[in-house]
Amino acid sequence: MNVSPNAKVPEWMLERWQALLSSLIELAAADAGGILRAGAGEAKVLCSVGNDDLRREQAFPAHPGAFPAEVLKRATVVEILGAVQSSPPLDSFGGDQSTISYLGMPIFWPDGSAFGVIDIYNRKAIRYSDAHRRLMIQFRDCIEEHLILIWEYAAGHGGLSALARRSDEALRVSEERFRLLVENALDDFFLHDDKGRFLDVNQRACKSLGYSREELLQMSVIDVSTDLTQAEKETIWNRMQPGTAVTVYSHHRRKDGSTFPVEIRVSCHFINGQKLFLGLVRDITERVEAEQALQRLIAEREQKVAERTRQLRRTAGMLQAVMDDASDAIFLKDIEGRFLLFNRAAERISGHQACHVVGKTATDLFGDETGNKTRELEARILESGEVSTDEETLPTAGGLRTFLVTRCPRRDEKGQIVGIIGISRDITDRKATETLLRSERDRLTLAAEVGGLGVWDYNIDTDTLYCDPRWYRIMGRDPNVPVTSLEDFKRQVHPDDVAHATSLELTALKELAAGNRQHGNIFRIVRPDRQIRWLRSTACLIEGEAGAPSRALGVIMDVTETHPQGGADKSLAHAVIAR
C-alpha cells in the first residue's frame, strides 16, 4: 500500500516532534535545527528551532547540492564540518552565507521510502560526538514510530482510536527513551515551572548537589542557585518564549553548603498548556580554575614585563648618560640612513639639536655632496657587514672639521642588519699637529742634508726610535740592522756617558717643552770599528694629550775633530772596549 506523500501529520504529533527537536538542540548544544519533509521538487518545514525566519509548512525549492538533499541521496547520516551553505531552508541562519557545522539524518516511511530529514546546525566549526549521533537516532526512531501510526491509519487498521492508543504507547516508549538519555547525560538535568519549582531532575544532578531525588523535587531553583534573587530569576523566565534558550553563568550550592561555578543552558517549552523550563547544568570548576590560573600567569608575566621595562629604562638611562658625557659624537641610523639617535657631543659639534635631527638623513643636514658620499659608504657597510673607519671632512657649527668616523652594522636579535652605529672623533687639531710635524721634519731633514746632520725621532710613550740614513753613517752602523729603541742606542754610547746622554729629569723635560726650548748635550759613542767619536745632540720636545712630553725630535753631529779631547780619546778606544 502506498501512502500519499502529502499525508497530513496530526497536530499533536507535530507538537511532540517540536518538543523532541528542542530537547535534541539542548542536549547536543546546537544553535539551530529542523525537521523537513521531502516532496516533489521541494522541501517543507515541519518543525524549526533557533531560526525565527522559518515557519511551519513553509516550502522551498529543492536544491540538489544542499545538505538535506545530500542526506536523502546517501540515505544515511551526513556530518559536514565548517562548510558554507546559503540556500534556504538548508541554511538555518538565513539567506546569507554562513560557515556552519551540520549533522543530518534521513527519516523513512515504514515501506522504506523517504519522508524527510532531521538535522541540527552550529554557527562554528565543531565535531559532533557519537553521543550526539545516538541521541539523534533515538529522536528519529520516535518520529518513525509516529509515521507507522499514520501508515496503519491510512491502511484502515484500527481507525482513529487505534491511532490514539498507538500514539499513547509510542509516547510512553519515547518518554522512557528520553528518561534513559537524561539519566545518562553528562550534565545535570533540571525541569522546573515558571516559579522555579523542580518537576524533574536526573541522577547526576542529585549526585552533584548531594540531595536525593525526593529532596530536590521538594525544592526550587532559588534553593540551589545563589547568584540571583527569586524576583530576578522570574523576570528572566517571564521574558523567555517557548522555543528560545539562554546561557547563564552562576554558582550552585550543595547540601553541605559548599558552592561551585556552573554554566546553565536554559530553554523554554510549552508542554500540556504549561510553560516549563529545561536546564542543563555543567560544572565548570576546572575551567574557572584554569582561567584563574591563566589570569595569575598573565599577571605574573605582566609584572615581570613591568620589572623588565623598569630595568631597561634604568639601563637606557645609564647608557644615555654615558653617551651624553662622551666627547665623541655617537649616532644610530636605520637602513634608510635616517638618524635614530644623536648624542650631546654630536649636537655640540654639528650645531643641530637631536630633536631636529632624528628622522633626517645626512643629505638633509649636510647637503647633497656630503650626503651622497655618506650614503655610498654606508651602503657598502650594510652590504658587507664589516666595520669601516674613514676620515671625513664635514661642515660644523665651527666651520669645516676633520673627523675619524668608525661605522659598524647594527643587528637585531636574529642577526639581521637593521642599521648603522657610528662614532665620530674630531681630529682636526691632531691633523694640524701632524702637518706641522711633517713640515718640521722636512725642514730638519733639509737642514741635516746641508749641515751633515743625522735625524732621529723618539716616541717616549712607546719607546720607539726612528733614525735616518745619515744618522746611521755618523754612528758607523749598518742601516739594515736598525736601532729601534733607546736600549739599542745605549749599547753604542760610551759607558761613561750613557746616563748623561740618555736621561733627563721629567721636571726638566716639562719645563723645556713648556718653554718651547731645545735640549742639547755632548757625549761619546763607540763605533763597531772601535772608534770613539764625540757627538752633539740637539732636540725639541713635543707635549702629548696629557700635557707631558711624548716625543723628542732631534739631530746629531760628529764634533770629534773640533772637541778638545777628540784626538786623545782615540787612543782609549781599545781600553774602553776591553772593559
- The CATH number that applies at residue 32 is 3.30.450.40
- When pLDDT is cut at 50, 70 and 90, the band that residue 96 belongs to is very low
Residue 52 sits in the same domain as residue 111? yes
Q: What is the mean pLDDT of residues 354-363?
A: 87
Q: How far is residue 362's CA from residue 334's CA, in Å, rounded to a whole number? A: 12
421-449 tens-digit pLDDT = 888 888 888 887 778 777 877 776 776 67
Residue 524 lies in a domain: yes
What 8-state DSSP symbol labels residue 495?
A: G
Residue 105 sits in the same domain as residue 173? yes
Residue 291 lies in a domain: no
**Alpha helices (H) along 87-229:** 130-155, 159-183, 203-209, 213-216, 221-224
Give me the pLDDT at residue 89, please.
Answer: 41
Number of helices (H) and strands (E) in the chain: give both, helices first: 20, 21
Residue 199 sits in the same domain as residue 271? yes
**Structure-model confidence comparison of residues 499 and 192, the more confident one:** 192
What are the residues whose beta carbons fall under 8 Å from the beta carbon of 161, sequence distance 6 or more? Answer: none
CA 161 to chain centre: 73
Q: How far is residue 467's CA from residue 485's CA, in Å, rounded to a whole number? A: 10
Q: How far is residue 73's CA from residue 119's CA, in Å, rounded to a whole number? A: 15
- When pLDDT is cut at 50, 70 and 90, the band that residue 168 belongs to is low
Domain CATH code at residue 390: 3.30.450.20
Q: What is the mean pLDDT of residues 197-201?
A: 90
Q: Is the pLDDT of residue 97 over 60?
A: no
What are the residues whose beta carbons fall under 8 Å from the beta carbon of 124, sequence distance 6 or more? Answer: 99, 101
Q: By three-state DSSP, how is residue 228 classified?
A: coil
Q: How far is residue 115's CA from residue 108's CA, in Å, rounded to a whole number? A: 5
Question: Would you say 305 and 402 are in contact if contact means Cβ atoms under 8 Å apart?
Answer: no
Beta-ladder partners of 250: 262
Q: What is the mean pLDDT of residues 265-269?
A: 87
Give me the pLDDT at residue 575, please.
Answer: 42
Give me the pLDDT at residue 574, please.
Answer: 42
What are the residues whose beta carbons fall under 8 Å from the beta carbon of 218, sequence distance 6 or more? Answer: none
Task: Average the pLDDT over each of 268-272, 288-292, 379-383 and give the range with the smallest value.
Answer: 268-272
What 8-state DSSP symbol labels residue 68?
A: H
- When pLDDT is cut at 50, 70 and 90, the band that residue 259 belongs to is very high
Residue ending a domain, choose from 361, 392, 426: 426
Residue 461 sits in the same domain as residue 553? yes
Residue 72 lies in a domain: yes
Q: From residue 39, how far is each of 36, 104, 205 by CA, in Å?
A: 10, 17, 43
Closest CA to 54 of 99, 121, 5: 121
Give me the pLDDT at residue 251, please.
Answer: 92
Q: What is the mean pLDDT of residues 451-457?
A: 83
Q: Is the pLDDT of residue 218 over 70?
A: yes
Q: How far is residue 247's CA from residue 282's CA, in Å, rounded to a whole number? A: 11
Mean per-residue pLDDT over the chain, rounded = 80
Strand order in the sheet with 78-85: 59-61, 42-49, 32-38, 114-122, 98-108, 78-85
**Structure-model confidence comparison of residues 253 and 165, the more confident one:** 253
**Residue 516 falls in which region: left (phi positive, over 0), alpha (psi -120 to 50) or beta:** left
- Let me know how long the chain is: 579
Residue 362 lies in a domain: yes
Q: What is the mean pLDDT of residues 80-100?
A: 52
Report field, pTM of the whole predicted structure over 0.75: no
Q: What is the CA radius of gyration of the chain?
A: 52
Residue 178 sits in the same domain as residue 215? no
Residue 89 sits in the same domain as residue 140? yes
314-339 tens-digit pLDDT = 877 777 777 777 888 888 889 898 98
Residue ending a domain, choose from 151, 183, 215: 183
Give me the pLDDT at residue 174, please.
Answer: 54
Q: Is the pLDDT of residue 219 over 90?
A: yes
Residue 549 lies in a domain: yes
529-573 tens-digit pLDDT = 889 999 988 887 777 666 667 788 888 888 988 888 765 555 444
Q: How far is residue 363's CA from residue 468's CA, in Å, rounded to a whole number? A: 47
Q: By three-state DSSP, how is residue 417 classified?
A: strand
Q: Is the pLDDT of residue 261 over 90?
A: yes
458-493 tens-digit pLDDT = 888 888 888 888 899 999 999 898 888 888 888 889
Quick count: other Cβ atoms within 10 Å of Cβ 319? 11
Residue 414 sits in the same domain as residue 533? no
Query: Considering the chain, what percentage of its residues have pLDDT values greater than 70?
Result: 83
Q: How many CA atoms lie within 13 A of 451 on its CB side?
A: 15
- When pLDDT is cut at 50, 70 and 90, the band that residue 450 belongs to is confident
Residue 249 sits in the same domain as residue 272? yes
Counting beta carbons within 10 angstroms of the beta carbon of residue 160, is it exposed (0 to 12), middle (13 to 18) or buried (19 or more)? exposed
- When pLDDT is cut at 50, 70 and 90, the band that residue 576 belongs to is very low
Q: Is the pLDDT of residue 374 over 50?
A: yes
Residue ending a domain, choose from 124, 159, 183: 183
Q: How far is residue 62's CA from residue 437's CA, in Å, rounded to a whole number? A: 103
Residue 32 lies in a domain: yes
Give me the pLDDT at residue 91, please.
Answer: 42
Residue 146 sits in the same domain as residue 18? yes
Residue 292 lies in a domain: no
Domain count along the chain:
4
State the helix-helix crossing angle for 159-183 and 130-155, rounded to 10 degrees: 170
Residue 493 sits in the same domain as residue 417? no
14-54 tens-digit pLDDT = 888 888 888 888 878 888 889 999 887 788 889 988 877 77
Counting beta carbons within 10 angstroms of the beta carbon of residue 305, is it exposed (0 to 12), middle (13 to 18) or buried (19 or more)? exposed
Give me the pLDDT at residue 413, please.
Answer: 85
Residue 131 lies in a domain: yes
Residue 34 sits in the same domain as residue 170? yes
283-292 tens-digit pLDDT = 999 988 988 8
All three cell numbers of 36, joined, read 523537513
All three cell numbers of 147, joined, read 509515521
Give me the pLDDT at residue 94, please.
Answer: 35
> Which structural domain range is residue 96 located in?
11-183
Residue 409 sits in the same domain as residue 452? no
- Most confident listed range (17-21, 107-111, 122-126, 238-242): 107-111
